[in-house]
Amino acid sequence: MALPAPAGPVLTRGVVMASYLLVAGTLLLVMWRGLLPGLLCVCLGFLLTRWLTGCLVKATRRVSNTPVRTLRLAQVAAAGVVMLLPLVLLAIGLTHSRGYLVEAPQQYRELLDYMARTVLELRLKLPPDMAAHLPEGAAEIQRTIAAYLGAKAGALAMAGRAWLAGLLFAYVGLLIGALAAVRPPPGDLRPLAQALRTRIILFGEAFRQIVAAQFWIAAFNTVLTALFLLFVLPMWDMALPYTPMLITFTFVAGLVPIVGNLVCNVVITIVGLSVSPLAAAACLGFLILIHKAEYVINAKVVGRRTHMGVWELLSVMFVAEAVFGPAGLVAAPLFYAYLKKELVAVRLV
């Protein structure tokens, strides 16, 4: 009597530990070599391709009776859209907004210089009665902040190469993710491959919960901020300078949970102060209002799914920023969510 074939590969403790070490080493290499945009876009390209495939299959199922052929065509079409859409958007952007795209680092440098001058002129911007109550040490604080902004402006002026390299890594990652999404399902996997597949699935779940949710939160925040800067403030004759830069910065900063909102508030409020104290107060009040709504959404969308508290998120973000710089702020929520999923899977937390 023949023995039944094993149901799957036997995962020994050594194999599982090897998969943990490989994933940890890969994530450290990504942070060390500045490949985070590529990693994020690999996950984004994979999820977008899978989502578009599902939509196309549902749309064509009514007119086709060959599900296998329909699925394959839908996968190819979805991958093509994901791979070509950035090139189409880039061509449109270069046609209509070439100066904005090419000169973006220089324009951000000018914005930081403008903020530095505004901080130095704080006493002149405030009403005389309010300015008289400022302590003498406030002038030194103003000079310190202005010097910091000036230093960052100088560093940003040299960031053009990193800007283009990040875009290239991001697009290559998008291609890899789209191609991985249409790859035929693997057959029998060896133990290490099966363990790595489990690690990748958990990482993908963490990405979908953290990064995708934060993307929509940042988009929601950006739309409201754009309406406020482009329509509400001009109606009150308090239009802010560098509005396109501020809107773009709002979206980029919004991708970083918690800390990004605080930085965005400070930047827009300082630029509003350059117009008038009333404009600064209006900007601060509006931003606090929409960020309160954003925190509610964030708590429901992210916190409930990942069971992460605000103190946990802040702690890992500060540590990651100290070790890896600004990229650590972006990667910390994702990496920590993945770590927590692994610990939950083995019932350690």
Gyration radius of the chain's alpha carbons: 24
Confidence of residue 127 (pLDDT cuts 50, 70, 90): low
Query: Pick the residue with more confidence: 31 or 122?
Result: 31
Query: Pick the residue with more confidence: 255 or 238?
Result: 238
Give tens-digit pLDDT for 305-349: 666 776 777 788 788 878 887 778 778 888 988 998 898 888 887
pTM over 0.75: no
Report the alpha-carbon distance of residue 191 to residue 60 in Å, rounded. Answer: 38
Please tell me the chain's helix, strand, coil percentages from 3-state DSSP, rounded to the nearest 5: 85, 0, 15
Beta-carbon contacts of residue 122 (< 8 Å; ≥ 6 apart) = 131, 134, 138, 142, 273
Residue 242 predicted with pLDDT over 50: yes
Lowest average pLDDT, out of 164-173, 258-267, 321-330, goes to 258-267
Count, in order, helices (H) and strands (E) of the chain: 18, 0
